[in-house]
Amino acid sequence: MKYFITIAYSRANRGLGLAALGAVVVACVGFLNISSVEAGSRVKGQYATSKQPYWSVGTINRRLSTACRRGLFLQRQIMTYSVGFVGERGRGITGIANKHWNLIDTDGLAEPNVTYHFYNQGYSNCKVFVAKTPKKG
């Protein structure tokens, strides 16, 4: 019985932690929903903002999304850099990684010159979007 109570307590605490994290993300996105988003109003680590829906950041990759759900293709540190999507449709935040930075890629699926955007990493509906890395100009 003690074992069952310990597991239930552990799961309840993890659920509360995830709920609190979700509330913080929602609050951050809510605060960013202003008419003109300036660099000074970004959250720490936020690379950019967009009025477009989060799915417009790149092309969804089903294979990488499945690997993300299985814990095989992930950001090393979640949301080190991110893009905030603050428009009327498709609000959300995507974390950023690439082959040589902030990526756990146990199966060697990453490609050079590609940026990976993670939506809902750590959840069963994790989605990975692929975009060409912008050239330095």
E strand segments, the chain: 46-50, 59-60, 73-75, 82-85, 92-98, 103-105, 114-119, 127-132
Which of 49 and 13 is assigned the larger pLDDT? 49
Mean pLDDT of 108-134: 95
Residue 42's pLDDT band (boundaries 50, 70, 90)? low
pLDDT tens column, 49-79:
999 999 999 999 999 999 999 999 999 999 9
Rounded-to-integer distance, Cα 57 and Cα 102, Å: 18
Residue 43's pLDDT band (boundaries 50, 70, 90)? low
Span of 44-48, 80-84, 114-118 with lowest mean pLDDT: 44-48
pLDDT at 23: 38
55: alpha, beta or left, given left = phi > 0 and alpha = psi -120 to 50?
A: alpha
Mean pLDDT of 109-124: 96
